[in-house]
Structure 1
């Protein structure tokens, strides 16, 4: 999840009771209360987005796209990997200023709605991806484009966090959104399993002819996402138009972005170092979920039903990990939680790679491929949640009072700027070694580089306060 889009910072002090960057009429009534109407409506979008994240791009539709029906898992995985890498390049080129311009133009909610609608439409069009090799490019193109618009929507969605929270509640409300996403993924996956993949009663949607049941999953996901994306459009007010910033041209917006980065580097270089490190390892975290289901099916021979069951368990473990790590984060600081999580991910990922789908004797026990993936695959999901949650908490602690939005905007920008790394290395590793299993190497490299870049970065309490220019 990317967080907050760049926005000009007011020159006057910001009251503690009002979220950063808020002005009268932009903060939702009841902001700051965890179970208030605006918070529940905001988190509903995250709940609905799980149909795209968990069902379409992780555990169901991409598994379908990389099946033998589309030319074999290795070939299809390479095409998918490069397709997602291309989407990452587009995101890196365009996302830095989309949030900035929608904020300054007073169109944050408008563009959240437009981009969400585009994601739903592209997802629904996946119904026309029939199980034949000639439809592979269509399927990859639809998923890749949907990813682009999903990230654009995410920038605007996460920018709303300051409108529904206060400085004292931003952490738990942000965490609540993460939890809603994980739980929404569980519910959506259960419904897909019992209605389409292994239906409890026969109906036309359970027909497997030409993979009709899986293609209907795309229609289900589109409707699910759109339905749960609607509440935020009614519960959170639009931000006001900022006349001066709104006059910036497209390329001038990049100029403003670069000036802000230079100013932060001059006054708080370790803030920039953290943004760089988190951008890299967050791309690796995203890849764990993006390619996890594909590897389960292609390398370990999981059936689609088994992949979905694993996904349900994985989302539950990730949610527990994210919630539990919050207490450790408060006691020891976010950097230590992130380091522990990344090391855990490297160990678990290496075990999946080395042990593979074969049978091995480990410490006197016979391990099958199924056991390997269940144990170390769930270990991967356990550490993903804490790394994601503490990364956002890390930056929240770095942000100077009244200028949190600027740093969270750069957090989103840097994250998207390298979003092609893991998909590209995943595809390249398969191409080099000739087996899907070795795509794990590409993901591990990204996580390792992110960890190495993070190690010398000073923890939040030791970093100087950044100064961010407003224009």
Structure 2
């Protein structure tokens, strides 16, 4: 089939919806909004706030917002899915959720107009995320109406490939305009317009799907009884291998989706990854994920969708444990330090740091903190006090280098600086890998982050596409909407639990501990998918 013939097919029209809404999953949900939200949160509260002994950071609050959106769709998903089957309203529900999601995304443009910017952004994004997750439920269900069972792996992988390419194209545009307006007076405006453009892109491209695919046909119940939630749940145990898949999927999807949803905020919080680098990473992920999805679709035809899915999950485990080793190299040159104190030649030192930023350091010998701003002058005696009050001190997350004068090359690195690794076993793991790998190769955290993007892209498309196609191969066609509602519910509940686990781990320990706990979930899900007899359920494969 030629390209001109392909674009006229229902499969192409269906895949175009992935092209449309994947912009939300890339530019909005991962690349721009999490980092922008963390920056707004820090501008209001600093690195964190403590409430009743619990530590709240930008990334942990972001994780909770993602969780509440997922929980909402998990509650209504099965009910709406059953209605769409019985009354033939799959396209109608897809359109409604598209409107909700794309409009809420567009409204993020007003972040600086009403109240605290971080709060409005969080509110709009939570609604947009609800719309996005709901749309995924119905576009997944629609796959069984436009393709045959033997083609599920290929069609599902093709849809994700479309999504990665479409989302990647818009993200490259966003990366360009944000990069060229960085540190200008219109930077914030451009970021907000970029988020709003995601909503426009999502809505306009989705029209291709709505115009080209007719509404599904009603599938009325034989006894015409109303939807019974308990009876509907019981049927899951009667479909071979569906229940063990749900349990395994709950675990590994919980880990994967949490890693994807908090990665942007984690990078900004822990590793100091800025918005441009984070967006560049997502572009790399998109470029690699599209051929990755096609490759694993091909592999599924050779090895089977379940075995190929297992390969992707093992890859995810490796990726997450490698990500736990990421850490900035210790400052080595002048450009690596956050604050430079440059001699004036008269016993005084001039502060050099980014314009507009301000740092406060408490002195043990004074009730008045020292304020560091670009252009301030500090006498030599105070410089020694300053270095002593910064070096290795918890709560200080920046570094200082003295250039010239009697104190030339004196330096101090705060105890909470991203390069300081003297905590629990996870930080010792990061220190070990940094010592034997990152430092000898001179790969700073930016390059480590790029390596992460290459590996995530390789396995992300395969794990998502094959989970969808393997599930579709297990269910009866006349209950696709209802059962994809449960598929969405299990996925969304897992997406709720994962961020809450991360949130709790951050509050009680730190961000690395949160990621480690999430990695254990992926490992458990992989084990149960491979060996379902551990659940005392026979594998029919």
Query: TM-score range, shorter-chain basis?
Result: 0.7 to 0.9
1:141 and 2:123 are equivalent in the alignment: yes
Deviations 1:422-443 (A, max 9, x none): 2112222221224x44442243
Q: Secondary structure at the match of 1:299?
A: helix
Deviation at 1:104, TM superposition (A): 1.7
1:38 and 2:10 are equivalent in the alignment: yes
Deviation at 1:395, TM superposition (A): 2.5
Q: Is the 8 A contact 1:281 1:447 kept in 2?
A: yes
Q: Is the 8 A contact 1:353 1:438 kept in 2?
A: no
1:124 and 2:98 are equivalent in the alignment: no
1:48 to 10, 20, 24: 20
- Partners of 1:281 and 1:384 lie apart in 2 by 12
1:413 and 2:489 are equivalent in the alignment: yes
User: Which runs of 5 or more structure 1 residues have no equivalent in the other structure?
Assistant: 1-32, 466-471
Provide the alpha-carbon RMSD of the alignment.
Answer: 3.0
2:527 matched residue in structure 1: 452
- Partners of 1:396 and 1:192 lie apart in 2 by 35
Structure with the greater alpha carbon radius of gyration: 2
Deviation at 1:278, TM superposition (A): 1.1
1:262 to 231, 234, 254: 234
Q: Is the 8 A contact 1:277 1:454 kept in 2?
A: yes
Structure number with higher strand proportion: 2
Q: Is the 8 A contact 1:421 1:446 kept in 2?
A: no
2:435 to 353, 357, 361: 361
1:344 to 300, 315, 327: 315
User: Which runs of 5 or more structure 2 residues have no equivalent in the other structure?
Assistant: 49-56, 331-433
Q: Secondary structure at the match of 1:447?
A: helix
Counterpart mapping for 1:1-400 below 5 A: 34-67=6-39, 68-72=42-46, 75-130=57-112, 134-194=116-176, 196-199=177-180, 208-209=185-186, 211-242=188-219, 253=227, 255=228, 257-266=229-238, 268=240, 270-358=241-329, 360-362=434-436, 364-399=440-475
Deviation at 1:53, TM superposition (A): 0.7
Deviation at 1:112, TM superposition (A): 1.0
2:402 matched residue in structure 1: none
Q: Secondary structure at the match of 2:532?
A: coil
CA separation of 1:148 and 1:457: change in aligned 2, threshold 3 A: same
CA separation of 1:239 and 1:328: change in aligned 2, threshold 3 A: closer
- Partners of 2:314 and 2:191 lie apart in 1 by 36
Deviation at 1:388, TM superposition (A): 1.6
**TM-score normalized with structure 1 length:** 0.80
Q: Is the 8 A contact 2:252 2:525 kept in 1?
A: yes
CA separation of 1:157 and 1:36: change in aligned 2, threshold 3 A: same
Structure number with higher helix proportion: 1
Deviation at 1:247, TM superposition (A): 7.1
- Partners of 1:232 and 1:379 lie apart in 2 by 31
Deviation at 1:135, TM superposition (A): 2.5
Deviation at 1:331, TM superposition (A): 2.6
1:21 matched residue in structure 2: none
**TM-score normalized with structure 2 length:** 0.70
Q: Is the 8 A contact 2:165 2:286 kept in 1?
A: yes
Q: Is the 8 A contact 1:175 1:323 kept in 2?
A: yes
